[in-house]
Structure 1
Amino acid sequence: MTSSFFHGSAICEVDRDGTVSIPDFLADALTGEEGELLVARHEADDCLVGYGRDHLNHLRTRAEARRIADEARGEDARNHYRRMRRTFGAVEKLPRAGATMRIPPAMRHLGKIGALALFVGAGDSFEIWNPDLAIENADEQFRDLAAFRVKAMRGDHLGSVF
C-alpha cells in the first residue's frame, strides 16, 4: 500500500457486528489500494486511529526517537515498553469487503464506538470517534464539526450554512 493521505470527515452507522460503510473521503484515499488497514486506540485522544500497514514504519521510527530522548532524560525504560505495547500490540486489522469495513469488537470497546462512528481524516492516518465524545472535545472547531455531522445524520434542520 502506498502512503495514503486522509482528509475529510463523515458520520456513519455501525451495525451490531461493527460493519460500517466506508466513507467517501476514505474510499477516495484508498482508491486502487488493496493493502491492509490497521486500527488501534489513539495515543492521545479518546478515539481510534486507522492507517495502512506502511504507516507502521513511521510509528517505529517515532518510537525509537522517543526512546532515545527518554533515555537521555534518564526516564524509566518501562515507559518505552508500555508505549511499544500500545503502539504495536493493541492493533487489529480493519477488514474491508467492497464498500464496507468492520471495526473489530475489541477496538469498538476501546474507542467506545456504538451505533454511530465519526470518521475524520488526519493526514497519514484517520480517526474513528464516538460522536458524543467528539462533541465534548476541547477543540472548539472539531466539536462544531462533530455536532454538524450528528445533526445532519439525524436529519435535523440545519438552516443556512452561509
Structure 2
Amino acid sequence: MAVTQQLARIPEGLLAACRQSAAASSDHDPHWDPPASDILDLDWAPALLKRVGEVAGLEEVLLDALRRSTDGDTALDLGFLNTHPHAIAPFGATPTGLGVSEVARVSELLGQIYMPVLLAALPADERDAESSIGQMGGPITGGLRAYLLEHFNALRNFYLDAAKRHLLVVLWWD
C-alpha cells in the first residue's frame, strides 16, 4: 500500500475529545475516527501541485497558501495522534494541522488560484511536463494535467467546505 497524504476536516471539539481520550486511556488511544465524508486522500499530488505553482511563477502569497494547505503548521498540538500503537501517521512525520482562522485564509487564497493557467505554463509534451515538475515513476493514468487538476479542485473544495463549516484541518501521511 502506498503512503499518501490524508486530510481531515473536524470541529475543534472532536480534537479536544481525542486529546482527552488519549490522555485518559492506558494505551493512549485517541479514538480518532473522523467521518469518511470529511477525509480527503490527496495521493502523491501535494509535492507536484506545489512544484507546478513554482514552475508557473505563482504569486508568493498564493504559493504559500498552497504549501500550507498540504503542509499544515505546528501550532496545533497533534503529537498525541502519533503515539504507538494508535498512530495515524505510522509512515510519516507527526500530523500537522491548521486552525479555523488559518483554514479560512487558506481557503480564500486557494480560491484565487486558477489551476488551468498554471498547467498551461508546463511544457506541452507530457514527458517534458512531468520532468519539469520532478514527477518520477512513469506516466500518470489519465495524464498529468488531469491528475493535478482533479486533486487541486478536490483540495480547494475541501478547504472551502471546511471554512464554511468553521472546521480545522488535520494533515498526515499514511
Question: Fold match, TM over 0.5?
Answer: no
Q: Determine which structure has greater relative contact order: mean sequence separation of CA pairs < 8 Å that are 6+ residues apart, divided by chain length.
A: 2
User: Normalising by the residue count of structure 1, what TM-score does the alignment of the two structures yield?
Assistant: 0.30
Q: Which has the higher helix share?
A: 2
